[in-house]
Amino acid sequence: MTNRKHLRDTPRKLTPQIVRPYGDTTGDGMIQVSFTLPLPHDKRAEGAALQLAKKMGMDPALVVHAKPIGPDFTFFVVYGSSNHLVDLGQVHVQEREFPLLSPKEVSLAIKRGLRRRLVVVGACIGTDAHTVGIDAILNIKGFAGEKGLEYYSEITVVNLGAQVLVPDLVAKARAAKADAVLVSQVVTQKDAHIHNVSQMTAAFREAYPAGKVPLLVAGGPRFEEGSADRLGVDRIFGRGTTPSEVASYLVHAVVPPATPSRKKAS
């Protein structure tokens, strides 16, 4: 509770450096969690739930709901104040490293910089059959009110669809002279998404001479931000990515600036 004073004293307009969860009062730290313990429902189980909550930094904690699930398990809902502080100075996120362009600007940049159409090959690889992600980015129908890459006059899209085998993807990418390869991975059980993408990048590096590998981009709701290097891809896109973000990134990464004079110092 000692932190409350500090927060109350912070001027409203400024974002404080230190924050706590907000229940109904600034600085109250209130959170709620639910979990199941492999214990029959009795007083001891509720005590066990409280002990867990305290170890998670909830103090005071209140078991507001406990319900047996069969003879051997109990489900709990616990409310309490978290005694952890969030230091915003220690929060690191990946900011977008490229400017967001409109479809017109994308087309113009490709025309001037590449002087031919930019070729994108997309697929759901491995056993993944969820084409929702790749279709949202590639299909003309698009996503979130934005048209997909097929709509862009200077981009040629080859959408291979679901469950494409990695060797087929490499072959199709070579045949189409792809500038960029987009793969979508939704299924994540047992880290299938990581396994599939690593397998894909290895195959591309094997099949292409060094420095000639097309831009490799992975997308899906469960990729960890900042894991691109580990997976061997050039960029990862997460949940909520729109087609124009992808198009803007492709221009940023693939298209050389039109004339040297326009090159920015940064």
Partner 1 sequence: MSTTPLIHLDAAQVRQARSLAKRAGAPVVKIAKNHTTVSVERATLRLAGLTGADHEGQPWVNHLVDAVRGQVGLEHGVTTPVYDALRRGVAPDLLTLAQQSASGSVSFRLPEGGRELATTQRTARAQVARGIRAIDAQRAARDRLIRRHGNPKQTPWIYLIVATGDIDEDIPQAQAAAREGADVIAVIRSTGQSLLDFVPEGATHEGFAGTYATQENFRLMRAALDETSREVGRYVRLTNYASGLCMPEIATLAGLERLDMMLNDSMYGILFRDINPIRTFVDQRFSRQIHARAGIIINTGEDNYLTTADAVDAAHTVTVSQLLNEYFAKEAGLADWQLGLGHAFEINPEVPESFRLELAHALLARTLFPDAPLKWMPPTKHMTGDVFRGYLLDGFFNLAGTMTGQGILLVGMMTEAVVTPFLSDRDLALQNVRYVLDAAGGLREDFHPPRDGFIQTRARHVLGEAVDLLDRITTDGLLNAIADGTFGLMKRPADHGKGLEGVVTKAPGYDNPAVTLLETGATR
Alpha carbon distances (Å) from 225 to 94, 100, 221: 7, 19, 10
Catalytic member of 55, 67, 141, 263: 141
Among 39, 52, 63, 187, binds partner 1 (CB under 8 A): 187
User: Closest Cα partner for 250 from 94, 95, 113?
Assistant: 113
Give min distance, CB of 200 to partner 1, in A.
16
Q: In this chain, which stretch among 1-9, 22-30, 112-120, 188-196 interacts with partner 1, using CB under 8 A? A: 188-196
Give min distance, CB of 67 to partner 1, in A.
8
Joined tokens for residue 60: 């005071």
Residues in a beta bridge with 118: 155
**Number of shown-chain residues binding partner 1 (CB under 8 A):** 28
Nearer of residues 32 and 102 to partner 1, judged by Cβ: 32
Give min distance, CB of 130 to partner 1, in A.
8
Distance CA 224, CA 242 (A): 18
264 is catalytic: no
Contact 166, 200 (CB under 8 A): yes
Give min distance, CB of 165 to partner 1, in A.
9
Map the footprint of partner 1 across residues 135-174, applying CB under 8 A: 135, 139, 141, 161-164
The reply to whether 132 sits near partner 1 by the rule CB under 8 A is: yes
Give residue 114's region: left, alpha or beta (phi > 0; psi -120 to 50).
Answer: alpha
Site string for partner 1, 69-98 (x = CB under 8 A): xx--x-x-----------------------
E strand residue ranges, 88-131: 118-124
User: Closest Cα partner for 217 from 144, 134, 155?
Assistant: 134
The reply to whether 36 sits near partner 1 by the rule CB under 8 A is: yes
Phi, psi for residue 160 in degrees, rounded to 5: -85, -10
Distance CA 210, CA 49 (A): 55
Q: Which positions lie near partner 1, rule CB under 8 A? A: 34-36, 67, 69-70, 73, 75, 126-132, 135, 139, 141, 161-164, 187, 189-190, 192, 221, 239
User: Which residues does the annotation mark as catalytic?
Assistant: 141
